[in-house]
Structure 1
Amino acid sequence: MFPDKRILSFLGLAFGISWTIAGIGLAFGVRATSGIPYTVMAALVMLGPALAAIIQQRLLDKAPWSGLGLQLRGTRWSVVAWTACAAICIVPLTLAVVHVLGDLMGMSAFGMVEVSHERIAIAVRELASGKIAEASIQRQVERLSTVPAMFILVFALGAALIAAMTFNLPFMLGEELGWRGYLWQRTAAWNGARRVGSTGLVWGLWHAPLIAAGHNYPGEPLLGIVMMVLFCLTMALLFDWTRTRSMSIWSSCLLHGTINGSAGVTALFMWQGHPLVGSIAGLAGVIAVLVLAAAVLLLDGSYRRSFLGSTTNDAVH
């Protein structure tokens, strides 16, 4: 899959750093339900690919920083804008998938979805129960009841987009400098399908310790890893498209940050779904991302040709 020894060296560093940090945390009993300790552990784990990219690029390969895609000059900002549009579509598409397959077709594993004040009130009470005083919860519910439910959804997506361009940006660099920086650079001559498949596989497997700790799929430490690999394989096409077309990693950072920042809003509108199926990182999210990926391949002829062809750079740059 990766014949280049430099790629294997980078992956060894990325997995070694991240999995060592996660392993120490797991050994001390840190789990996804541990609150701040888990947040700290996850943030440190996310630095692994970036540290590996810097070590491999600068110290081992003795190559310039420009190969990692950090430059702003030459970035295709129109692609960045389209990336933002794609990013904020993932949550609504996931809600639509759950509505069709769960509500309308009765597939219980997908759960149910409802964009309404009543559903928001129930979700807020469930999420805040035992953490905040009942009087405070009631005041929050009353304030939210004065705002249209659809506006709350749109506002949350907009806030996630802004956070992705500001607060979340350095955290997203932790992964993106590795996957869409160093790894993309070393596989840029491959066709898109091969690069997406290989990158998606290692990206998904890299999450294994966090999934084992209960991240995304509580109660499913093994099948959760399989689902995370599937989710990353589908997401990898969108990330490869924006990295290839924008000529920098900043658009992939924006995409990653927006997805991470907006995923939580689904808890206000979706319920009773199985974590492996009725969630944004589950089968519902996979289907939603596949719809977006199909749209990318349909609408972007240059990328479509590079995805199926023998090389990338000549076709799309």
Structure 2
Amino acid sequence: MWAAMSPLLASGYRRSDAREETGALEQVCIAAAMLAPALAAILVVRCVEHSGQLRDTLALRWTKPWGRTARACLMAFTVPAGLTTTALVIGTFAGRYPFGGVHWNGLGVWAAGAVLNMLVSLPLFFGEELGWQGYLFPRLAGDGDRRSLIRAYVVTGAAFALWHLPTLLMGGQYPGRPWYVSVPAMLVSCVLILPVFTWLRLRSGSVVPAVIGHAFVSSVSVGMVKEFADSTAALDPLHMGMAGWPGWIVNGAFVAFLALTGRLRPSFYTARTVPHLASTRAR
């Protein structure tokens, strides 16, 4: 991550406005950085663990019954969309999100374009989630006892957040905010959103729905904040959307529901659905 971001760090790049478009150099650096977790996971599996087929080890598969994975992929669209909408409603009623209304005439075109852009960028999110959900979380979860699961969720979420440190220092996720605000905010955001991605991965036995969910949150969800805001108002991600405190409330409530109903435990699902998690410790 640091190596990929070094051209931007050396140039003194800083993002000061949430509406600022991403330039060509920034896109190249971000793309290279997003491949790092998957590269690390592949190297460790191949050269250190020698633990078998990459597809099985990193859950890079479409598991049977196929309909289960397909439904999880659909939920990877609908659940983040619902969470984002709820967060924007909370921000609006709290007076922190400058809601500008819904432009129904062009909404379909915007939504289609947003989803298309997300699908184009999907390979980059495999670069992240093969590291987080494919490799790191299953190893930390172990046999799935309560202590191991808590450790897995917290440590994976913290690693997910701190991996973003170079971009946080450049104002990437929280433009204009100092590091001592953006870093803790990112830690909270990632620790709360990671169980949602893990839930998608557990219920399907595949990393694919987690990749789709992550891509939606990082692209379409951010686009929703801009699309429905007053075009003349300043945007502060700390107070709106999934990366701000309204999103923390919504994600926290949803994660609490998943936890209380047992859906964040691998044992909630059948061994056939998530064979890798059941056999990780044995390997």
Residue identity in the other structure for 2:5: A
Question: How far has the Cα of 1:181 moved from its partner?
Answer: 0.8
Residue identity in the other structure for 2:11: F
Root-mean-square deviation (CA, aligned residues, Å) is 2.4
Q: Secondary structure at the match of 2:81?
A: helix
Question: How far has the Cα of 1:218 moved from its partner?
Answer: 0.9
Instruction: Summarize the Cα distance change of 1:73–1:244 in structure 2 as closer, same or farther, 3 Å threshold.
Output: closer
Q: Secondary structure at the match of 2:239?
A: coil
Q: Runs of 5+ in structure 1 lacking a partner? A: 1-17, 103-109, 118-147, 307-311
- d(CA) in 2 for partners of 1:89 and 1:160? 16
Aligned twin of 1:52: 40
Question: How far has the Cα of 1:23 moved from its partner?
Answer: 3.0
Counterpart among 226, 232, 235 of residue 190 in structure 2: 232
- d(CA) in 2 for partners of 1:187 and 1:101? 38
CA contact (8 A) 1:161 1:254 kept: no
Moved more, 259-268 or 208-217: 259-268
CA contact (8 A) 2:88 2:97 kept: no
Instruction: Summarize the Cα distance change of 1:284–1:156 in structure 2 as closer, same or farther, 3 Å threshold.
Output: farther
Q: Would you say 1:20 and 2:3 are equivalent positions?
A: yes
Aligned twin of 1:101: 94
Counterpart among 63, 78, 85 of residue 73 in structure 1: 63
Counterpart among 255, 259, 279 of residue 213 in structure 2: 255
Counterpart among 98, 104, 108 of residue 112 in structure 1: 98
- d(CA) in 2 for partners of 1:43 and 1:293? 29
Identity of aligned residues (%): 27
Instruction: Summarize the Cα distance change of 1:291–1:273 in structure 2 as closer, same or farther, 3 Å threshold.
Output: farther
Aligned twin of 1:120: none
CA contact (8 A) 1:86 1:292 kept: no
1:300-311 residue pairs with structure 2 within 5 A?
Answer: 301-303=261-263, 306=265
Show CA shifts across 1:190-228 (max 9, x none). 444332111111111110101111212111141111111
Q: Secondary structure at the match of 2:157?
A: helix
Q: Secondary structure at the match of 1:234?
A: helix
- d(CA) in 1 for partners of 2:235 and 2:77? 27
Question: How far has the Cα of 1:70 moved from its partner?
Answer: 0.4
Aligned twin of 1:82: 75
Aligned twin of 1:195: 152
Residue identity in the other structure for 1:71: R
- d(CA) in 2 for partners of 1:303 and 1:280? 21
1:133-172 residue pairs with structure 2 within 5 A?
Answer: 148=104, 152=107, 156-157=110-111, 159-164=113-118, 166-172=119-125
Aligned twin of 1:107: none
Instruction: Summarize the Cα distance change of 1:251–1:297 in structure 2 as closer, same or farther, 3 Å threshold.
Output: same
Moved more, 68-77 or 167-176: 68-77
CA contact (8 A) 1:88 1:157 kept: no
Q: Secondary structure at the match of 1:112?
A: coil
- d(CA) in 1 for partners of 2:114 and 2:196? 18
- d(CA) in 1 for partners of 2:256 and 2:82? 14
Q: Would you say 1:37 and 2:25 are equivalent positions?
A: yes
Q: Secondary structure at the match of 1:41?
A: helix
| TM-score, normalised with respect to structure 1 | 0.71
Question: How far has the Cα of 1:187 moved from its partner?
Answer: 2.2
